[in-house]
């Protein structure tokens, strides 16, 4: 299947009943919360999802989302490329109470009758897959943050306390 934009709104219960699969790409610009952790929002994430029902009758969404993003390196404060890969294994439930009864192999996806935003669930999983501290493997810590092209300050400036030094010199 070719990579195409994913539908934003889907009915996850109907998709699970029909055993549908989606494959496509999702632009980082469409995920504002994820983009707030990044240096830029250019690029896309490739997504592959399959909906279905397991042997216990639980509707699920399984798949993965992967892509390359740029975050700020916490050592050198320069952009660093991060390979994101989020595995999705969501069990559909109708309430928070039902989510507590869901088997441990599933993360809960609370669904109501209306079509739901697919991007929001994907964005949540991608945010969870971000590293806590982004850094290059081989960068050095910056200790000085001045402009390398700046001219040094003139040392010939008049010291406003030079008059006091002269007065002090006269008393001795």
> What CA–CA distance (Å, rounded) separates 56 from 58?
6
The CA radius of gyration of the chain, in Å to the nearest whole number, is 28
Beta bridge partners of 109: 92
> What CA–CA distance (Å, rounded) separates 153 from 36?
38
Can you spell out the DSSP letters for 38-49?
SS---SEEEEEE
> What CA–CA distance (Å, rounded) separates 58 from 95?
14
Beta bridge partners of 105: none
Per-residue pLDDT of the chain (172 residues; tens, 9 = 90+): 334 457 888 888 888 888 888 898 888 888 899 999 999 888 899 999 999 999 988 899 999 999 999 999 988 888 999 999 999 898 888 888 888 888 888 888 888 767 878 788 888 889 999 999 888 888 776 566 667 676 666 656 777 887 887 787 766 5
Phi, psi angles (nearest 5°) of residue 107:
-90, 145
């Amino acid at each position: 299947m070719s990579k195409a934009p994913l539908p934003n709104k889907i009915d996850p219960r109907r998709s699970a009943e029909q055993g549908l699969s989606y494959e496509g790409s999702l632009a980082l610009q469409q995920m504002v919360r994820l983009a707030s952790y990044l240096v830029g929002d250019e690029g896309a994430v490739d997504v592959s999802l399959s909906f279905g029902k397991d042997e216990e009758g639980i509707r699920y969404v399984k798949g993965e989302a992967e892509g390359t993003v740029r975050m700020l390196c916490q050592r050198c404060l320069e952009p660093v490329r991060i390979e994101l890969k989020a595995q999705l294994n969501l069990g559909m439930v109708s309430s928070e109470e039902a989510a507590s009864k869901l088997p441990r192999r599933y993360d809960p996806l609370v669904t109501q009758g209306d079509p739901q935003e697919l991007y929001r669930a994907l964005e949540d999983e991608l945010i969870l897959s971000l590293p806590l501290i982004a850094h290059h493997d081989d960068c050095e810590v910056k200790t000085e943050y001045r402009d390398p092209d700046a001219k040094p300050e003139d040392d010939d400036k008049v010291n406003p306390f030079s008059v006091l030094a002269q007065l002090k010199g006269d008393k001795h």
